[in-house]
Amino acid sequence: MALSDIIQRRDWENPQSVNIHCLKAHSPLASYRDINHARDGIHAQRQSLNGQWKFKLFDAPEQVEGEFIDVQFNDSAWGDITVPSNWQLQGYDKPIYANVKYPFEVNPPYVPADNPTGCYRTRLTLTEADLESTQRIIFDGVNSAFHLWCNGDWVGYSQDSRLPAEFDLSQYLTAGENTLAVMVIRWSDGSYLEDQDMWWLSGIFRDVTLLSKPKQCIEDVFITPDLDACYRDGSLSIVTHISAPETSQVHVQLFDGSQAVTEPSIARPHNRRIDERGSYDDVVFQTLHVREPQQWTAETPNLYRVVVSLLDAEGNHLESEAYQVGFRKVEVKDGQLQLNGKPLLIRGVNRHEHHPELGHVMTEEDMVRDICLMKQYNFNAVRTAHYPNHPRWYELCDQYGLYVCDEANIETHGMIPMNRLSADPQWAHAYMSRYTQMVMRDKNHPSIIIWSLGNESGHGSSHNAMYAWSKQFDPSRPVQYEGGGANTTATDIICPMYARVNTTVEDEAVPKWPIKQWISLPNEQRPLILCEYAHAMGNSLGNFNEYWDAFREFPRLQGGFIWDWVDQGLSQWDNDGKHFWAYGGDFGDTINDRQFCINGLIFPDRTPHPTLEEVKFCQRMITVALTQQDKQQCHLTVTNEYVFRSTDNEQLHWSVLENGVEVQSGQCTLAIDAGSQQTVDIALDFQPKADAKYHLNTDICLISATPWAQAGHVSATEQFTLSNTSSLTLPKISILSAPQLSEQGRDILVSNLDKKHQWQWNVESGLLTSWMVDGQSQLLHAPEDNFFRAPLDNDIGVSEIDNIDPNAWVCRWDAAGIGRWERECVSCTSESLSQAVKVTSTFAYHHNGGVQAITVWTYTLDNQGEMHIDVDVTLADHLPPMPRIGLELALPLPSDNTTVTWQGLGPFENYPDRLAAARFGQHTQSLDAMHTPYIFPTDSGLRSGTQWLNVGNLECTGDFLFSVSRFSQQQLTEAKHTNELTLEDKIYLRIDHQHMGVGGDDSWSPSVHEEFQLTDNTYRFSIMLKPRHN
């Protein structure tokens, strides 16, 4: 078929043209020519066609050179492109990021006339011997639709960017050199079904493989594991589809490594059937029984290998296929999702396939790194949001142990109504094809315990049809789907997104009940697993522990999948060579949702966010409780939350801290069966000091390395405050003379007797303008009231995307002028006391003609060089909850000491509603490490519960929260990327009395819980500052 005929057909604007001439979907095939090769997974008859292909991008399909499909076409002037890749990241076209809106006019099934079209050409050489076998080409992923030619002949067409398209090339190939030509179209009717929250990228982005199979071959294998009623003995039901005479035989055997576990099972089809739809493939049904097999779970990923071989009538070997299998049984039973008879708690995350340089191309190294990180941070499940992943991903999840919710490549988020296509019979075939082909490809993976019908497509007849087909074809797995309210008849699991623990989310279309209430609705017996929750956008994840308290309390609340795993930033460099992570709008894409793709728990380069520490703590598999303490010992109860394994590879390491410094430590072996507890007694062998604070830390550590972590890896932590009954001692009171007080013009001067410490206030401004110690300035900027924070993503909400939400925190703060108030010094007075000098400054803050706040600063200075600051804050009644109540000053940047040491919660960033994982102690970090480089710059680096702090040339004492940074709040507010920040030669020290929570139930509504909002009208706090090494 000529290219002109293809253009006229316009398959890419026809929802009925899902694929043409593609082979039936099936489990992955390798075509081993020997049973032992199949058992060992070697010498598969698969040839990779990845590499350098010739490439040219055209503005539309109609502009493609018609001769490019011909063998003789001269492509020497074309560029080279790597396959697999996204062409937007190879110097062609531009990436587009949008969350909801389609990046083109919505007029299904039609797409824009300006439709970038990438043409690929490559050559492959075959021998006469090769042609004796069937040659199939497999495209594992092409976005969004493509036509294929071989040696000038049209082969077929396919869409659905996340599933394989497989064609039989045998009739087109010749001995010697062969030419493949592929025309990939950026926009197709399939794009309307792929409106996921990710980058719109195009091209051949997954592997291309040539599969050689004999003429008589295995076409598909479906292996269903099962356990008996006692969950002890196992069986494998094996259905094999063959293309071979009905006299052929199928030989099946199970292996554990190189050891055969079962005797061979040999069967013939004898069931050829023909009805009004045509003939069926020959199918062979076999069952293998195994006594007490090692069961597969995410905790114990025990795998066997099934080898399925095709023999001719005389028993001669023709071909083998092999699959890793796990014995496990998935059920929704007694209102719970159960595996092998035991309820699960899903510690899950949504994961997009994203690489900062390669886009949607994932290497095996990337996949392994993601899985290891997930396991290290106590995840046990992943949702393939929102499409089938690379085939290798599932094999690795089988191997390392992760539960998988496998999701169809269907999302119509930008449709109005959202179910417009889901309820349209014209699109039913496209829906069904996407779902059934995913199931057919992935059906043999033990890690897949849930099928998902897709995401955010409303609820329509197509969902009901997919659900019904799934329950008929594979009743061994439950099906979930959130659309239409999360609890329709098309889901076995209540799977809402962003439902909260205790409050109703008022949504006009589909209100979301609190999860505790949802499971109590009349006649509702299904388990609840949040398909998305805890929106981890930037500095977020407040109140995450509240979800986990509920999950542990209510058996039918079985966890959820955090949104989401990785920031979808793309590596870019500005004109000065500074690196930054790009997001929507950075490539000239005018329809975009800016940084809404930046909502991962890890940065694009897989560096963890501080939020991941909170996740790790809340999701810990082994918990420790302090049940009793006396002077001699502590009694601990250690609970093993693993469902299927004992603590045979864990030790408990403990330490006692005195004022944050370790004074005693030890360790003990844990021997706790799954779901059981152990009591641990720790003898206390130290003499408590009066007025000292004592804490007990516990760490659960791996004894031996695992495939996903090194020996010594800490999987769980706890901290307990110990009581100290030692008698208090009264501090010695020294009688000191007061510093000298004087006035010079409009300045107040204070100095101690030896002139080592000198302070100066300007009476008109009321500010401390100078603080000198031994002739060296302690300050670069005077201490000032600080009510503002550089807005977090959760503060901004949707206000910066395409509308202004007056209810967003940033809009409410802006309307109140917070951060822009005009300061007036009402008074600045001083007085000399018997042992100190007191300076009092009163400030009024004005906005729009009214007084918004009054603060009174009282400085008390003694001859030792200590400066005590008491601050009283009174706020106007009409103000919204404040971002923070505190002060800010700037210190000189020392040349020899850029570390920060504090006694308080740490060591990582923590905020009032996200500090469950933080531990009290004495912590030291570099100055640079105190700033978190969020891709969209915001306030960061807060540490809570601080008793004292050493930073720069200053020591601070009190009870406060703090952050230090070399970036001003103005910079952090105005910058949109990290490369726009400029390090300053000073240290900004922000000391907070109180700081608003970060929120995180979602990122588009004010999600900070009331108890973490600053709603009082009056505040009072104190801080003591003195020179470091005084």
Check residue 282 and give its pLDDT.
87
Q: What is the DSSP string of 69-130?
A: GSTT---TTSEEEEES--GGGTTSS--EEESSS-SS--BTTB--S---EEEEEEEEEE-TTG
Check residue 512 and give its pLDDT.
87
In single-letter form, the type of residue at position 427 comes to W
Q: Which listed residue (13, 407, 456, 614) is catalytic? A: 456
Q: Is the pLDDT of residue 277 over 80?
A: no
Confidence tier at 895 by pLDDT (50, 70, 90): confident
H helical segments located in 497-543: 515-518
Bridge partners (DSSP) of residue 1027 are 954
Pick the closest to residue 767 from 788, 748, 786, 745 (CA basis).
748
- In the three-class reduction of DSSP (H, G, I as helix; E, B as strand; rest coil), residue 39 is classed as helix
Q: Is the pLDDT of residue 320 over 90?
A: yes
d(CA 1011, CA 1005): 16
Residue 413 is assigned to a ligand binding site: yes
pLDDT in tens, 5-16: 999 999 999 999
Domain ranges across the chain: 3-213, 330-616, 621-718, 740-1027
Q: Is the pLDDT of residue 898 over 90?
A: no
pLDDT in tens, 991-1026: 999 999 999 999 999 999 999 999 999 999 999 999
Only one residue has tokens 């997919």, namely: 466
* C-alpha torsion sign, points 529, 531, 536, 540: negative
Residue 532 is assigned to a ligand binding site: yes
pLDDT in tens, 604-656: 999 999 999 999 999 999 999 999 998 889 999 999 999 999 999 999 999 99
pTM higher than 0.85 for the full model? yes
Residue 194 is assigned to a ligand binding site: no
Active site residue 532: yes
DSSP state of 726: P
Q: Is the peptide bond before 907 cis (omega within 30 degrees of 0)?
A: yes
Residue 99 is assigned to a ligand binding site: yes
Check residue 862 and give its pLDDT.
93
d(CA 349, CA 468): 27
CATH 2.60.40.10 fits 621-718, yes or no: yes
The CATH number of 3-213 is 2.60.120.260
Residue 535 is assigned to a ligand binding site: yes
In single-letter form, the type of residue at position 990 comes to R
Strands, sheet with 153-159, edge to edge from the N-terminal-most edge strand:
19-20, 153-159, 145-150, 176-185, 117-126, 51-58, 79-83
Check residue 733 and give its pLDDT.
62
Confidence tier at 734 by pLDDT (50, 70, 90): low
Helices (H) and strands (E) counted in the chain, each on its own, are 12, 61
pLDDT in tens, 491-536: 999 999 999 999 998 876 677 899 999 999 999 999 999 999 999 9
d(CA 660, CA 663): 9
Percent of all residues in the chain with a pLDDT value above 70, rounded to a whole number:
97
CA distances from 559 to 93, 157, 297, 548, 1013 (A): 41, 41, 17, 8, 27
- In the three-class reduction of DSSP (H, G, I as helix; E, B as strand; rest coil), residue 872 is classed as strand
d(CA 656, CA 95): 53
Residue 908 is assigned to a ligand binding site: no
pLDDT in tens, 754-772: 788 999 999 999 999 999 9
DSSP state of 469: H
- Residues 401-429 have a mean pLDDT of 97
**CA dihedral of residues 517, 518, 519, 521 (deg, nearest 10):** 90
- Residues 361-378 have a mean pLDDT of 99
Q: Is the pLDDT of residue 1030 over 50?
A: no
Q: Is the pLDDT of residue 358 over 80?
A: yes
Residue 1017 is assigned to a ligand binding site: no
Confidence tier at 729 by pLDDT (50, 70, 90): low
Check residue 274 and give its pLDDT.
59
Bridge partners (DSSP) of residue 284 are 240
Residue 743 is assigned to a ligand binding site: no
Check residue 728 and give its pLDDT.
60
d(CA 259, CA 865): 78
Highest CATH level, class, for 330-616: alpha beta
> Is residue 222 within 8 Å of residue 443, measured between CB atoms?
yes
Active site residue 888: no
Hey, what CATH topology would domain 740-1027 get?
Beta-galactosidase; Chain A, domain 5 (2.70.98)
d(CA 105, CA 126): 45
Q: Which listed residue (532, 650, 658, 800) is catalytic? A: 532
Check residue 725 and give its pLDDT.
77
Strands, sheet with 342-343, edge to edge from the N-terminal-most edge strand:
330-333, 336-339, 342-343
Retrieve residue 226's tokens. 């099962």
CA distances from 387 to 32, 338, 439, 451, 843 (A): 29, 24, 12, 11, 57
Q: Is the pLDDT of residue 331 over 80?
A: yes
Residue 340 is assigned to a ligand binding site: no
d(CA 583, CA 876): 39
Residue 524 is assigned to a ligand binding site: no
Count of positions (residues) in the chain: 1030
Retrieve residue 255's tokens. 């292996």
Percent of all residues in the chain with a pLDDT value above 90, rounded to a whole number:
91
Residue 319 is assigned to a ligand binding site: no
* C-alpha torsion sign, points 349, 352, 353, 354: negative
Residue 34 is assigned to a ligand binding site: no
In single-letter form, the type of residue at position 484 comes to G
Between residues 484 and 279, the one the model is more confident about: 484
Check residue 337 and give its pLDDT.
99
d(CA 505, CA 521): 16
Q: What is the DSSP string of 544-608?
A: HHHHHHHHHH-TTEEEEEES-SB---EEEE-TTS-EEEE-TTTTS-SS--GGGG---SB-TTSPB
